[in-house]
């Protein structure tokens, strides 16, 4: 069963879909943001699991050993680092926008916000 052999990727996919459905099905803006963060975390888990190689160490040169067979792949780690920083920024931005929407409409329900905004336009 390849799904059980690739258990980290499978877990990442399931986490991604939980986050996706949270984002789509909930009306509360904060829950939508939580769903988005879960999707981010799933992608980081997936990327990090891609770089792992069985029985090798983290890419920190110790004892002058510099052969490729000794260390895991360093590239996904760098990509995940970039992703985490951007995800933190995006989360802060989304939360700030949610706070502003709450100040204006006194609700976090997206349907109500859309209805109120539609009435304002008329």
Partner 1 sequence: MKSKMMNKLSEWLTDEASALEREMEASQERAADEDEAALTPAEIRWAQEEKEEEERIARRLNEWTDETGTKISRTLYSILCLVICLTLIVLLLYTVTELPSFGSPDHPINNEVSARYIEKGLQETGAVNIVTGMILDYRAFDTLGESSVLFTAAMVVLFLLRKDKESHKYSPLAKVMHDNPHSDTYYEPKNDIILQKTAFVLVPIVLLTGVYVVLNGHLSPGGGFSGGAIMGAGLILYVIAFGFAKMRRFFTYKTYQFVVLIALLTYACSKCYSFFTGANHIPSVIPLGTPGAILSSGLILVLNICVGFVVTCTMYCFYAVFRKGEL
69 vs 121, beta carbon nearer partner 1: 69
CB of 19 within 8 A of CB of 38?
yes
CB closer to partner 1 out of 95 and 117: 95
CB of 73 to partner 1, least distance (A): 5
Nearest in space to 76 (alpha carbons), one of 101, 96, 48, 97: 48
- Rounded distance between C-alpha atoms, residue 22 and residue 32, angstroms: 6
Residues engaged in binding partner 1 (CB under 8 A): 2-3, 5-10, 13-14, 16-17, 20-21, 24-25, 49-56, 58-62, 66-71, 73-78, 81-82, 84-86, 88-90, 92-93, 95-97, 99-100, 103-104
Instruction: Give residue 106's region: left, alpha or beta (phi > 0; psi -120 to 50).
Output: left
In the complex, least distance from residue 67 CB atom to partner 1, rounded to whole angstroms? 8
């Amino acid at each position: 069963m390849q799904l059980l052999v690739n258990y980290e990727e499978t877990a990442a996919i399931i986490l991604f879909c939980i986050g996706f459905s949270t984002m789509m099905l909930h009306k509360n803006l904060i829950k939508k943001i939580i769903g988005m963060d879960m999707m981010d975390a799933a992608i980081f888990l997936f990327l990090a699991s891609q770089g792992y190689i069985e029985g090798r160490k983290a890419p920190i040169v110790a004892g002058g050993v510099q052969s490729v067979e000794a260390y895991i792949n360093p590239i996904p780690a760098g990509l995940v680092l970039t992703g985490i920083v951007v995800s933190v920024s995006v989360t802060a931005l989304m939360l700030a926008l949610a706070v502003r929407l709450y100040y204006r409409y006194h609700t976090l329900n997206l349907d109500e916000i859309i209805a109120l905004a539609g009435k304002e336009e008329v």
